[in-house]
Amino acid sequence: MLVSFGVYKMEVEFKSDWLATQIELLKALHGYAKDRIDEKVGSVDYVASGDIHGKKLLRVIITKKSDVSRAFTDTIRATIKFLKDEEYDEGVILAEEFTQGATNLLRNESHLDFISMREEHKYSISELLEAIQKYSVELCILRCGKVPESENDCQGYRDREYSCSIRRISDDADFHAERGWLQLLINDFSRLIKLRREMSK
């Protein structure tokens, strides 16, 4: 379902694969859950709380057609005010790109981070593996009804042949992590997102 501004508590199907991957990575790592759609700002807001960093906001700047959008100075000012009024401890803004004025404002806000297609967040190998493992577990339960207790318990790999895409991606991720190939790990995670989308149809 595509986003309709002004409607709350609904699923959002993002058109940008890059945006979907970034959101799902941050959700897997920090426990963000969708809270609302802000029609005035043009964003989908996610909230995480309960860890040592306190209450956190993930604000995704999008168009009315669910595509990634630019962030302007007004967007940043509105977000800074929102964080203060709603007593958030930290915030992250995801956007296609940030204008120079918006970037200048953000650099003065130590509690507000930003990620764009040009200035991507630098995930560590351990973070990417953690996200991949969480997604793999979810997909195993969705497909097989349980998580294998051991490697031999998984029916997705037998006689050196893969019959399960989840197992294949998981093994690929281990290989890529051993070699420190960050971009390929991000690609592995993106493959899991697409697989879950297909399995949910």
Weakest-pLDDT range from 26-30, 158-162, 165-169, 197-201: 197-201
pLDDT of residue 9: 37
Confidence of residue 172 (pLDDT cuts 50, 70, 90): very high
The model's pLDDT over 6-43, given as tens digits with 9 standing for 90+, comes to 333 335 677 788 888 999 999 999 999 888 888 889 99
Q: Could you tell me if residue 107 is inside a domain?
A: yes
The strand pair at 54-61 and 90-94 is best described as parallel
Q: How many domains does the chain have?
A: 2
* SS3 track for 104-119: HHHCCCCCEEEECCCC
**Strand stretches in the chain, DSSP E:** 33-38, 43-51, 54-61, 90-94, 112-115, 157-158, 161-162
Of 185, 188, 189, 187, nearest to 177 (Cα)? 185
CA nearest neighbour of 41 among 106, 94, 103:
94
Q: What is the CATH number of the domain that holds 103?
A: 3.40.1340.10
Tell me what the mean pLDDT of segment 79-100 comes to.
Answer: 94
**78 in the same domain as 157:** no
Mean pLDDT of the chain: 87
Residue 1 pLDDT: 28
- Domain membership flag for residue 182: yes
Could you tell me if residue 163 is inside a domain? Answer: yes
pLDDT number for residue 4? 35
Q: 133 and 107 in one domain? A: no
Q: Which of 115, 136, 151 is the last residue of a domain?
A: 115
Of 65-69, 86-90, 194-198, which gets the smallest average pLDDT? 65-69
Task: Print the domain residue range for 95.
Answer: 17-115
Indicate if 111 and 131 belong to the same structural domain: no
Co-location of 21 and 111 in the same domain: yes
Separation CA 43–CA 70 (nearest Å): 11
